[in-house]
């Protein structure tokens, strides 16, 4: 064999071995096992008592903390008694394990009441991700949490910090999620209205003196609704992993008197840029670095405001607590009001500032093997307005699509017939023109 390899080939082989040895990430990581029980419990995350879905008694659920290449196993018992459950691992690519993606009706069947199911998948990229329910509107009832994947030992990121912390932002409605869902599918459509509060890592505050609120359901002194506290040591730098799982609210997050340096967006390292307000939309995650470099004799407000819609929801507030001040000591200042809801300039500036970090650019292929066109439209179907892709709107199938595909059950797809008066061909043409490979 060696005879066929000349000097330069040998060098190439040596180089190839070297490159593979040093660039292929370690395949075998550790197995991280989680045991979860999902059930309904009365919770008062914003002082108002209502049913929430918890994991091991908590909402948000336990964080999944792993290193790149680790295998996550989640043994989930569905104790909701009368409802199915499915968990989607948001941002995890599920390479080789699409059946563990947790999108009920698409990749797998949901977990039936009383059943236990074991999800098993590899977290192959470092970064900040989320998990959330993917059955009905269970996510809005509190079934969600964070996934934090760090680099393997000995590898470093293109920034440094002393500690990290995950924070999930959500909007919280007092109406049950059934009421919300029934409104969405009613004709005419009924919107549940503005959320009653914003939760920061599962904690918010609703004004119990609001007229019409039943006194025994709302208590301002309930310890469940004390503000979320982020304790920091003066002069240390913190990586805040911020995710949003709101139902329908764009948010602005800020920490009074502190700038934030954005270093990661949706699991990708980005060129660093500094913001006063971080704008975040549902399903997104960011990592920002914050240094505790202000007067350490007091605490500061962290504030979350709804933007892009003129909402009357009170801003969500947390306490940015400088150790050793008392964690629940209110800052001496009025909380920052946040940007005006329709001030689009800083939002646009943030979007424009997001660029792949120079050391982590993966250029797309120069040409494509195949062009797939997916026009995304809103169609009127039986007096309902429904989102469609390629003129097909999603209907919950009896057989999950991935299973139908595997068993060649093509009738299980049951697409809507092409709609009359819909200029489908023209859209295809426009898209072909725009996306024709070079």
Task: Please report, as ranges, the residues that interact with Cu ion according to CB under 5 A.
Answer: 90
Cα(40)–Cα(47) distance, integer angstroms: 17
- Classify 426 as helix, strand or coil: helix
Comparing CB distances to Cu ion, the nearer of 90 and 203 is 90
Comparing CB distances to Cu ion, the nearer of 86 and 292 is 86
- Classify 430 as helix, strand or coil: helix
Give the contacts of 165 (CB within 8 A, at least 6 positions apart): 230, 238, 239, 240, 241
Least distance in Å: CB of 124 to Cu ion? Answer: 18
Cα(244)–Cα(139) distance, integer angstroms: 12
Comparing CB distances to Cu ion, the nearer of 90 and 239 is 90
Closest-approach residue to Cu ion (CB): 90
Comparing CB distances to Cu ion, the nearer of 248 and 419 is 248
Least distance in Å: CB of 396 to Cu ion? Answer: 17
Contact between 270 and 356 under an 8 Å Cβ cutoff? The reply is: yes
Tell which phi-psi region holds residue 163, choosing left (phi > 0), alpha (psi between -120 and 50) or beta. beta
Contact between 217 and 48 under an 8 Å Cβ cutoff? The reply is: yes
CA neighbor of 174 nearest in space, from 218, 129, 119? 218
Pairing label, strands 229-232, 316-322: parallel
Comparing CB distances to Cu ion, the nearer of 123 and 318 is 123
Least distance in Å: CB of 132 to Cu ion? Answer: 6
Degrees to nearest 5, angle at CA 181 with 179 and 184? 110
Comparing CB distances to Cu ion, the nearer of 36 and 48 is 36
Least distance in Å: CB of 88 to Cu ion? Answer: 5
Comparing CB distances to Cu ion, the nearer of 199 and 260 is 199
Pairing label, strands 229-232, 116-122: unpaired
Least distance in Å: CB of 194 to Cu ion? Answer: 23
Contact between 313 and 281 under an 8 Å Cβ cutoff? The reply is: no
């Amino acid at each position: 064999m060696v005879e066929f390899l000349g000097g330069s080939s040998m060098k190439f082989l040596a180089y190839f071995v070297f490159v593979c040895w040093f660039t292929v990430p370690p395949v075998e990581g550790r197995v991280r096992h989680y045991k979860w029980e999902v059930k309904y419990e009365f919770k008062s995350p914003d002082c108002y008592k209502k049913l929430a879905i918890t994991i091991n008694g908590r909402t948000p659920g336990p964080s999944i903390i792993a290193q790149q290449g680790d295998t996550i196993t989640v043994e989930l018992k569905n104790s909701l008694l009368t409802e199915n459950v499915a968990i989607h691992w948001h941002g995890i690519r599920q390479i080789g394990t699409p059946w563990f993606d947790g999108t009920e009706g698409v990749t797998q069947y949901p977990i039936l009441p009383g059943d236990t199911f074991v999800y098993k998948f590899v977290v192959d990229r470092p970064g900040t991700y989320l998990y959330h329910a993917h059955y009905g509107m269970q996510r809005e009832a509190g079934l969600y949490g964070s996934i934090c994947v760090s680099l393997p030992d000995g590898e470093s990121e293109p920034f440094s910090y002393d500690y990290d912390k995950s924070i999930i932002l959500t909007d919280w409605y007092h109406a049950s999620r059934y009421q919300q869902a029934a409104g969405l599918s009613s004709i005419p459509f009924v919107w549940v209205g503005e959320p009653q509060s914003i939760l920061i890592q599962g904690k918010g505050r609703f004004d119990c003196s609001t007229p019409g609120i039943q006194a025994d359901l709302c208590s301002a002194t309930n310890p469940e609704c004390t503000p979320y506290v982020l304790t920091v040591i003066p002069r240390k730098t913190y990586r805040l992993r911020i995710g949003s799982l709101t139902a329908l609210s764009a948010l602005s997050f800020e920490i009074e008197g502190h700038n934030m340096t954005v270093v990661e967006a949706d699991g990708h390292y980005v060129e660093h840029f500094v913001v006063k307000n971080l704008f975040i939309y549902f399903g997104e995650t960011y990592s920002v670095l914050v240094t505790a470099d202000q007067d350490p004799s007091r605490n500061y407000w962290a504030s979350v405001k709804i933007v892009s819609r003129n909402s009357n929801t009170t801003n969500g507030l947390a306490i940015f607590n400088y150790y050793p001040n008392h964690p629940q000591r209110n800052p001496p200042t009025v909380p920052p009001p946040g940007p005006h809801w329709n001030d689009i300039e800083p939002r646009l500036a943030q979007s424009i500032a997001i660029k792949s970090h120079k050391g982590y650019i993966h250029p797309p292929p120069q040409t494509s093997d195949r062009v797939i066109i997916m026009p995304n439209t809103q169609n009127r179907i039986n007096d309902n307005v429904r989102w469609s892709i390629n003129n097909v709107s999603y209907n919950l199938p009896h057989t999950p699509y991935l299973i139908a595909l595997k068993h060649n059950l093509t009738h299980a797809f049951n697409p809507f017939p092409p709609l009359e008066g819909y200029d489908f061909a023209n859209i295809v043409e426009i898209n072909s023109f725009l996306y024709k490979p070079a």
